[in-house]
Amino acid sequence: MTGIETPMALSSIPTFESRNPTISVNVLVYEKKDLIPVYASNFCNQRRHHVNLLLLSKGDKYHYTLITSLSRLAGDRTHFNGKTFACPYCLHPFRYKRCLQNHIPECSQHPAQHIQYPEEGHNILKFDKIQHMFPVPFVLYADFESFITPSGEHEPSGFCCLRVSKFPQHDHNIYTHSGDNVLHQFFAHVKQEQAEINTILSTNLPMDPLTDEKVEMHRLRKKKLIEKQSRKK
């Protein structure tokens, strides 16, 4: 604790951990009837001693209290009636320890997290972007291959680009490239695709003649529209 002021600020915990290589510390707060992790150690499950603390504050005064069982403290996050294993980074409770051990390597790559759900009345999603419902005429899918250089960097070695279109004659066009100047060649290919697609979409073709069935369908729809407008009047 030499040189660290007490009570210890959150910003001083990394210094404390660096000076005490056998201890890791996590800090939580309780706000709006919910637990929130505000500091998650980078050394969880790596050091002999791990401590979970609950930070209590009032005005500019604060105090740490020891959490003896994170499982019990986060127990209301699940309907399971028994011991759970809570993630120190997101507080998600797991029924089995092996599930937590599989979860931590991924979750530990991110800072301490707090999942907040929308309140009732604001938890309904509505879709209003009607224009996104229409299929686009062309889509390009690209995939790169790379190798690792002696310095540890990923160097692209080639790519494949697939053109997908709702027009059968322009669908499933595959282009591959491998060798030098991969990115330069990729952007050149995309620019060429753009030019070809713009040419295709800008071509005006005469409308196909309507069949007898389509003519009758159009007549019936027009009739129904006129009847609907008459009822409104």
pTM over 0.75: no
The predicted pLDDT at position 10 comes to 87
Phi and psi dihedrals of 201, rounded to 5? -75, -25
| Contact status, residue 39 vs residue 27, Cβ threshold 8 Å | yes
Listed by start position, the domains of the chain span 10-107, 135-200
pLDDT band at 233 (very low <50, low <70, confident <90, very high): low
Q: Which amino acid does the sequence have at 89? A: Y
Alpha-carbon gap, residue 71 to 84, rounded angstroms: 5
Q: How does strand 49-58 pair with strand 34-39?
A: unpaired
* 37-80 pLDDT tens trace: 888 888 887 889 989 999 998 888 888 999 998 888 887 777 77
Alpha-carbon gap, residue 188 to 173, rounded angstroms: 16
The predicted pLDDT at position 192 comes to 96
Averaged confidence pLDDT in the chain: 88
Average pLDDT over residues 220-226: 88
The predicted pLDDT at position 200 comes to 93
| Contact status, residue 15 vs residue 52, Cβ threshold 8 Å | no
* 145-196 pLDDT tens trace: 999 988 888 999 999 999 999 999 999 999 999 998 999 999 999 999 999 9
Average pLDDT over residues 9-18: 91
| Contact status, residue 167 vs residue 200, Cβ threshold 8 Å | yes
* 102-119 pLDDT tens trace: 988 888 888 777 777 778
